[in-house]
């Protein structure tokens, strides 16, 4: 018998149900919710850990990347073995969380968030929580969530500072109201590779985001944070900038979903802080994964873990997933990545 909704001191959720803002009714709503965690880096693993323990009914975990040794300093769901095996983050996170809470449903999605995938990823979601590493993907998430009326919680962390905001479509400001495109462009040269990131920064921002997601799930949308919160841990500063919905906002005011309706899939994306390029083939490209594995294994040493193949060629490590998506390491040059992809995978 499941203890998911059982009240009483022996229930695994007893201490949460005792919080008057949650209660038994709130716990039941959490158990009936679908939460999407988009991106499973430092923020995403913190968020997923808290939401799995809180008893979210379905946890949909999305990430395009594999676990690396440099992740372990702050990405709290992975261990050294995951990095040694180059496991996809979504698979490694689910494997870990199943040992934490086996009574909820998990969906691992190893994929890129782009105009071709975001609406499928959002289907049936109660809330999306942002663990992404770039503003292009966040702007796309913002459009899709506003279009479908799904609340989402923005979060970011870098060096010693972080920020977060909660977007409840039609109620609070959306990301576009808060940050016009010019402001987003200005933040782009900073990455966790160039300026680093402290684990406590992402743990703090991720915890705030998980709390906001719980508010959405229990129906306390009025209590959702109405501003853009900024933390500067080294200077001991916490500030909240008031945020107002802009009636003339292109996204939540005029409902122009330019990024979403573009509909094409990006061919290449540089991965934040990774010296790597992701290659996403067009939807029409059908990869024969077994044939690729057989062909490559004739000349190259292949590493396999059931989720992907990894090999080294022309001084670059490459990872290929069964759907044809690939990561090319040791370069930030998309032309070089496409050329290596064409040479070893096809296209």
Least Å distance, CB 173 to Zn ion, is: 6
The three-state DSSP-derived secondary structure of 54-99 is HCCCEEEEEECCECCHHHCCCCCCCCHHHHHCCCEHHHHHHHHHHH
Closest distance between Zn ion and the C-beta of residue 244, in Å? 10
Among 34, 40, 48, 177, binds Zn ion (CB under 5 A): 177
268 secondary structure, DSSP code: E
Query: 41, 131 in Cβ contact below 8 A?
Result: yes
Distances (CA, A) of 134 to 41, 140, 269: 12, 10, 10
- Does the protein bind Zn ion through residue 96 (CB under 5 A)? no
Return the active site residues: 192
Q: Which is nearer to Zn ion, 87 or 174 (CB)?
A: 174
Measured from the CB atom, the residue of 46 and 142 that comes closer to Zn ion is 142
Nearer residue to Zn ion within complex by CB, 98 or 256: 256
**328 — phi, psi (to 5°)?**
-115, 120
Sheet holding 303-304, edge to edge: 268-271, 276-279, 326-329, 316-320, 309-313, 303-304
Number of residues that bind Zn ion (CB under 5 A): 6
Give the residue with the Cβ less far from Zn ion, 252 or 287. 252
Q: Choose the binding region for Zn ion from 70-78, 99-107, 241-249, 303-311 (rule: CB under 5 A).
A: 241-249
Decide if residue 62 touches Zn ion (CB under 5 A): no
Contact between 174 and Zn ion by CB under 5 A: the answer reads yes
Binding mask of the shown chain, residues 244 to 273, with x at each position contacting Zn ion by CB under 5 A = -----x-xx---------------------
In angstroms, how far is CA 242 from the centroid of its own chain? 26
Rounded to the nearest whole angstrom, what is the least distance from the CB of residue 157 to Zn ion in the complex? 23
CB of 256 to Zn ion, least distance (A): 11
- Does 139 participate in binding Zn ion (rule CB under 5 A)? no
User: Which of 301, 294, 306, 287 is closest to 345 using CA atoms?
Assistant: 287
Give the side-chain half-sphere CA count within 13 A for 161: 11
Kindly list the residues in this chain that would bind Zn ion in the complex (CB under 5 A). 174, 176-177, 249, 251-252
């Amino acid at each position: 018998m499941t203890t998911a909704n059982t009240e009483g001191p022996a229930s695994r959720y007893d201490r949460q149900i005792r919080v008057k803002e949650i209660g038994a009714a709130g716990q039941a709503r959490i158990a009936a919710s679908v939460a999407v965690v988009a991106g499973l880096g430092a923020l995403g693993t913190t968020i997923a850990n808290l939401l799995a323990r809180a008893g979210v009914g379905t946890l949909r975990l999305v990430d395009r990347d594999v676990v690396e040794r440099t992740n372990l300093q702050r990405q709290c769901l992975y261990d050294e073995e995951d990095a040694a095996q180059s496991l996809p983050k979504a698979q490694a996170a689910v494997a870990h969380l199943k040992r934490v809470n086996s009574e909820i449903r998990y969906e691992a999605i190893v994929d890129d968030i782009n105009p071709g995938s975001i609406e499928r990823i959002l289907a049936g979601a109660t809330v999306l929580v942002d663990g992404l590493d770039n503003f292009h993907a966040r702007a796309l998430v913002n459009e899709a969530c506003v279009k479908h009326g799904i609340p989402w919680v923005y979060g970011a962390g870098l060096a010693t500072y972080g920020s977060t905001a909660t977007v409840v479509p039609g109620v609070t400001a959306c990301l576009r109201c808060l940050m016009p495109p010019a402001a987003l462009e200005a933040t782009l040269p900073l990455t966790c590779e160039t300026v680093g990131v402290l684990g406590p920064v992402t743990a703090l921002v991720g915890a705030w985001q998980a709390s906001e997601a719980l508010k959405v799930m229990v129906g306390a949308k009025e209590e959702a944070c109405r501003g853009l919160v900024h933390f500067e841990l080294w200077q001991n500063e916490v500030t909240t900038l008031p945020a107002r919905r802009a009636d003339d906002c292109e996204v939540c005011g005029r409902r122009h979903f330019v990024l979403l309706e573009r509909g094409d899939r990006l061919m290449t994306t540089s991965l934040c802080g990774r010296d790597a390029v992701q290659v996403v083939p067009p939807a029409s490209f059908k990869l024969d994964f077994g044939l690729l594995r057989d062909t490559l294994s004739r000349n190259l040493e292949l590493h396999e873990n059931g989720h992907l193949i990894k090999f080294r060629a022309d001084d670059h490590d490459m990872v290929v997933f069964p759907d044809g998506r690939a990561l090319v390491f040791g370069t930030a040059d998309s032309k070089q990545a496409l050329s290596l992809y064409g040479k070893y995978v096809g296209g």
